[in-house]
Amino acid sequence: MTPAGTSGPRGSGYAGGGWGSSGRSVVISEPSALRLVRRIRILERGLQGILWLAVAGSALAFGAVHPWAYEALWALCALAGLVTLARAGTILRARHALGPQVIGFHSAGKWIVKNPPTDNAPLTWRCDLGASVWPRSPLVVPTLLFAALAVLQLIPNPGGTTWTLSPEATRRGLVFVVTLFALHLAAVAAFTRPGARRRFRRVVAWLGLVLGFVALVQVAAGLGRIYGFFQPWESDRFFGPFVSRNNFAGYMLMVVPVALGLLADAWRRYRRRVGETPNLRRRLVAMGTTEGSRLLYAAVLPLVAIAALLASTSRGGILAFAASLALAAIGLRSRKGTPVWAVALVFVAVALAWFGLERLEVRFVRATDDAPGRTVVWQESLDLMEGSRWATGYGFNAYAEALSRVPGWRLPEGATPWPEPIREALESEERYAYRAPGDLPGLAWYREAHNDWLQLLVETGIPGLLLGLWVALVALLAARGDPWLFAALAGPLIHVFVDFDFQIPAIPVLWVILAALATGSSRHGATPTG
């Protein structure tokens, strides 16, 4: 150990005395200390890699709606939780050995600097050993209360029954919430550094490029299978790697604002390069610089993503995108320079011109024809709520079981009529609605309410709905300093009024990580993007 006031390792160029405002710097080269710090860095990078894999893998694996995909996803979530615990334990050991101080790790990996200066380039990695090692998030309290509510639904009441109609389904739903919560806390721990937050934004934006490219090629080539070889049994309305175009749109509602935020950042850097009053020549010259190249790359990402979103012809997704873009514009109203939200509108116009307006026109004209199906299921869902069910619900993740108790629907004109086996099952009060559609051909039935807020009410009652709104509110409040991140979180919350995005594992996975990104940005004073 080199004491303060002496030189660092030979050839390092460091002087120990007087560095930093919080205390004198000390250079440490003890092998045990180096191993601890290296381990922290490895665990943090591994945690970031797990998050990247969870986001990209769940989206590319058809939204992770099949058992093989979501089982692998839950395993990744559990691994993220274990790595987070290992990171916390290693930081505590390093704090005990080095003290609760900020440390810097030299790029060569041969020594540590305690209380390093903030402007020293060779120190490529820093860690505050005095900070809390446990992830802190405003989502902790409402999420734990919601999990407790689901547990209460599983406890037998004095009559020997449970409040949930399907304990098995509720247990699956509870595992779903717990694993997502673990992933969220892992993301909070991984995003303590601005560099980690920037890298994740880039991963999401480039993932959007891949998803958009797959979808647009699919449309242009008229492919009848996902990736050209997979035919989903759930639906023939697949789009991109998702089994439903609406779910694809719900995912892109998060991706597009993130990509636009990167474009806003690239635009800001480019403006600094060209100066306050640039002429045409200076602008053209600047396009050959690093800032100009990054601006071009950053422009491609949201352009492809927006084109794919519009090409999905998801009416709810497009309207939710317009609403989220309006929210971003409100948040950016005080910013100087050309607003990026205006650039987004240009991208929308270009995308519409590329694939034409006919498909969108047909979809929106047919909106009135398709509406009765959802309004019927919404009405039937509300009709279920009576007595104590307003307080207890029918059981988290047990919506299908609850819906199986209603009589035959007044089906809209043109809908598939009830086949005879279904009528017989209704008359004998047999449950059928929880079965897979393939088990009962011709069944006109919704496994989801096509409104996640309404479905949450049916499953958990008013308390569960309020807790869900609490989670959404605190996440949005954490992102209020970043208009683009706010729009990314708000988009799916708007879309689920007419769809079931949060029933598709890939979508809540990205949403909870973006919520962690917002939490990290607000806590650590990051500069808002855009």
Tell which wins on pLDDT, 117 or 435. 117
**Range scoring the smallest mean pLDDT among 31-40, 113-122, 234-243, 367-376:** 367-376
Model confidence at 21: pLDDT above 70: no
Model confidence at 322: pLDDT above 60: yes
213-217: Cβ within 8 A, 24+ apart: 213/304, 213/308, 214/240, 214/241, 215/239, 215/240, 215/248, 215/308, 215/311, 215/312, 216/304, 216/307, 216/308, 216/311
Give 97-113 pLDDT, tens digit per residue: 888 888 887 766 677 88
Q: Which amino acid appears at position 420 of this protein?
A: E
Average pLDDT over residues 180-207: 93
Residue pair 306/348 in contact by the 8 Å Cβ criterion = yes
Give me the pLDDT at residue 20, please: 36
CA 102: distance to chain centroid? Answer: 31
Which residues is 242 bridged to in the sheet? Answer: 239
Give 51-73 pLDDT, tens digit per residue: 999 999 999 999 998 888 988 99
Give me the pLDDT at residue 67, please: 86
CA 113: distance to chain centroid? Answer: 36
Q: Which amino acid appears at position 140 of this protein?
A: V
What backbone torsions phi and psi does residue 295 show, to the nearest 5 degrees? -65, -40
Give me the pLDDT at residue 361, please: 52
CA 399, CA 457: separation in Å to the nearest integer? 10
Tell which wins on pLDDT, 336 or 304. 304
Tell which wins on pLDDT, 11 or 31. 31
Tell which wins on pLDDT, 462 or 9. 462
Buried b (16+ CB within 10 A) or exposed e, 379-403: ebbeebbeeebeebbbbbbbbbbbb
Q: Which amino acid appears at position 122 of this protein?
A: P
Model confidence at 437: pLDDT above 50: no
Look up residue 199 and give its two tokens. Answer: 């890298």
Give me the pLDDT at residue 430, please: 44
Residue 170: pLDDT band by 50, 70, 90 thresholds? very high
Count of C-beta atoms within a 10 Å radius of residue 245 = 21
CA 6, CA 47: separation in Å to the nearest integer? 37
Average pLDDT over residues 262-269: 87
Model confidence at 388: pLDDT above 70: yes
Give me the pLDDT at residue 438, please: 37
Mean pLDDT, the chain, as a whole number?
79
Tell which wins on pLDDT, 31 or 337. 31
Give me the pLDDT at residue 340, please: 58
Give 422-432 pLDDT, tens digit per residue: 455 445 544 44
CA 303, CA 239: separation in Å to the nearest integer? 18
Q: Please, how many CA atoms are within 13 Å of residue 231, restricted to the half-sphere of its CB?
A: 3
Look up residue 179 and give its two tokens. Answer: 């694993």
CA 177, CA 398: separation in Å to the nearest integer? 14
Give me the pLDDT at residue 429, please: 47
Look up residue 98 and give its two tokens. Answer: 């080095």
Average pLDDT over residues 132-150: 93
Look up residue 479 and give its two tokens. Answer: 């992102």
| Share above pLDDT 90 across residues of the chain, in percent, rounded to a whole number | 37
The DSSP element (H or E) to which 322 belongs, if any, is helix 315-331
Length of the chain: 530
| Torsion over CA: 76, 81, 86, 90 (sign) | positive
Would you kindly state where each structural domain of the chain is located, as residue ranges? 26-128, 140-367+450-523
Using left for φ > 0, alpha for ψ between -120 and 50, and beta otherwise, residue 393 falls in left
Give 196-250 pLDDT, tens digit per residue: 999 999 999 999 999 999 999 998 888 888 888 887 766 667 889 998 899 999 9
Give me the pLDDT at residue 212, please: 93
Residues 6+ apart with CB under 8 A from 156: 162
Q: Of 108-122, 231-245, 330-344, which one has max mean pLDDT?
A: 231-245
**Range scoring the smallest mean pLDDT among 92-106, 108-122, 286-300:** 108-122
Residue pair 257/518 in contact by the 8 Å Cβ criterion = no
Residue pair 436/400 in contact by the 8 Å Cβ criterion = no
Average pLDDT over residues 508-528: 77
Strands 112-114 and 123-128: unpaired
Average pLDDT over residues 287-298: 81
**Range scoring the smallest mean pLDDT among 158-167, 326-335, 469-478:** 326-335
Using left for φ > 0, alpha for ψ between -120 and 50, and beta otherwise, residue 207 falls in alpha
Q: Of 207-221, 342-356, 503-517, which one has max mean pLDDT?
A: 503-517
Give me the pLDDT at residue 370, please: 57
* Beta strands, E only, 23-67: 26-28
Residue 530: pLDDT band by 50, 70, 90 thresholds? very low
Residue pair 200/48 in contact by the 8 Å Cβ criterion = yes
Tell which wins on pLDDT, 376 or 151. 151
Q: What is the DSSP letter of 15?
A: B
Residue pair 220/311 in contact by the 8 Å Cβ criterion = no
Average pLDDT over residues 284-297: 78
**Range scoring the smallest mean pLDDT among 355-359, 390-394, 515-519:** 355-359
Give me the pLDDT at residue 129, please: 87
Give me the pLDDT at residue 418, please: 45
Q: Of 315-329, 369-383, 495-509, which one has max mean pLDDT?
A: 495-509
CA 448, CA 230: separation in Å to the nearest integer? 24
**Range scoring the smallest mean pLDDT among 11-20, 73-82, 170-179, 487-496:** 11-20
**Range scoring the smallest mean pLDDT among 57-66, 76-85, 310-319:** 310-319
Residue 408: pLDDT band by 50, 70, 90 thresholds? very low
| Share above pLDDT 70 across residues of the chain, in percent, rounded to a whole number | 73
